Structure 1
Amino acid sequence: MISVYRSDVTALKHADNRVVVYQFKLTSEDYVWADVGEEVTLPCHLSPDTSAVATTIRWFKETECIYLYNNGQVTERSDYEGRVSLITQELERGNVSLRLRDCRRSDTGDYICQVIHGEQKEEAAVGLWDREGKCSRTPVMFLNT
């Protein structure tokens, strides 16, 4: 299943009047399952496959930023410290999925992957369910403003 994505297309005009359009989309699953104590990957990919090495990548749980990758520098929210990571060798292929180790019941809920490159910002949502099927997943809609 493909998750909801938001697309903002930005055209940049260079001094020599060339217009360059940067465009990518994010794709994800609607939800994934995990057991307490398990490692899970929250999938998110750039489409078409485009390097994400020079992008800013943020992962949110609900509205709280839990992971930030910016120019190779990583910041993790304290209650996720040491439990979250990107698959850095996959960034070149556009894989911005988040690995979450030692899942806790409190990790269940909605996650949003946000990728920024220049003026373009894309977001995709994925829900994390426990094996009992419990999840606070609610429909997510992104509005361009």
Structure 2
Amino acid sequence: MASIGQIIFYSMIILIVLFSVLIILLLALAFSDSSSEVTSTNTLPIANLGEDIVLSCYLNVKIELAKLREASVTWEKKGLTGVVHRYVDGADELADQNSQFKRRTKVFPEALGTGNASLLLRDVRKSDAGEYTCRMSSSEGKGTVNINLRAAAFTAPKFKFTKGVLVAEASRWFPKPNVTWSDEAGNVLNGSTSFKPNSAGIYKVVSMLQPVNISDTYTCRIENELVSAVSKATVTDTNIFGRTYFTFSAASSLLTSMYLSTLTIIIYICYLT
């Protein structure tokens, strides 16, 4: 016969498993609609300010050519009146389009037959950041998907080497980033960085590193909570060879908070045992 301690222990294990299953179900409900046939290839895109971006939205079925006029697409943005874009009866219907998006949006009628209801958003602004809903309906199916657009500014730095000083200059960053220098062994080096915002609050980043050894390679990392640019610069007697790659954050505050809540519950239960 099991002791009281064993009974309590196994009961706590069962509770932990049940809490984990519950959180997984909550996450599934938060990030998707199981009854929806509409999906997106990227629900957390990051747009570069001043550039265009395509917000993806797809109906998971093909639409017969004869029934294309029955397909409708509506894009809306949380907190705004009017629509971002609407396409219905074979044409754009923009009478109630929010003024923020005038002449800046486009859907692709020629792609609707494959279920493509994606939205082109031109010349992205800071105010464009937020939660969008794509709603598509046709004789073959319907559904909605939510997309959280984040807006940033990011450019690869240009390098100069003068009088023993290596300078990295990036013209556009937002939000304000951090800059870290390191050597080939990964050791962090002491650089000097200045940030100059323009009238729109976008920063010009100038970072200097010295002393610098000829033929050595140095890494300059410029990053904020949305974008990270990792640049490697090799200094020679006559030139600088640099290359940069970008990575983008896909972190969700909702996912993080729910994960932490789960972790807290599990730790608390284990502590009680």
- TM-score, normalized by the shorter chain, greater than 0.5: yes
Deviation for aligned residue 1:84:
0.5
Q: Choose from 94, 97, 100 the match for 1:79.
A: 100
Identity %: 27
Q: Choose from 91, 95, 113 the match for 1:92.
A: 113
Structure-to-structure mapping, 1:105-144, within 5 angstroms: 105-117=126-138, 121-131=142-152, 132=175, 133=226
Unaligned 5+ runs, structure 2 = 1-30, 153-174, 176-225, 228-251, 255-273
Distance in 1 separating the partners of 2:141 and 2:61:
15
Cα deviation code 1:88-139 (max 9, x no counterpart): 22111110000000111000010000012359641101111123439xx776
Aligned residue in 2 for 1:66: 84
In terms of fraction of residues, the more helix-rich structure is 2
Q: 1:138 to 1:68 in 2, by over 3 A?
A: farther
Unaligned 5+ runs, structure 1 = 9-24, 140-145
SS in 1 for 2:45: strand
* Aligned positions, number: 119
Q: Choose from 99, 103, 128 the match for 2:124.
A: 103
Q: 1:72 to 1:138 in 2, by over 3 A?
A: farther
SS in 1 for 2:112: helix
- Structure with higher Rg: it is 2
RMSD of equivalent CA atoms:
2.6
Q: Choose from 38, 46, 62 the match for 1:33.
A: 46
Q: Say if 1:5 and 1:125, in contact at 8 Å, map to a contact too.
A: no
Q: Say if 1:49 and 1:94, in contact at 8 Å, map to a contact too.
A: yes
Runs of 4+ in 1 over 2 A off after TM superposition: 5-8, 48-54, 116-121, 131-134
Pair 1:7-2:35 in alignment: yes
What is the TM-score when the length of structure 2 is the normalising length? 0.39
Deviation for aligned residue 1:31:
1.1
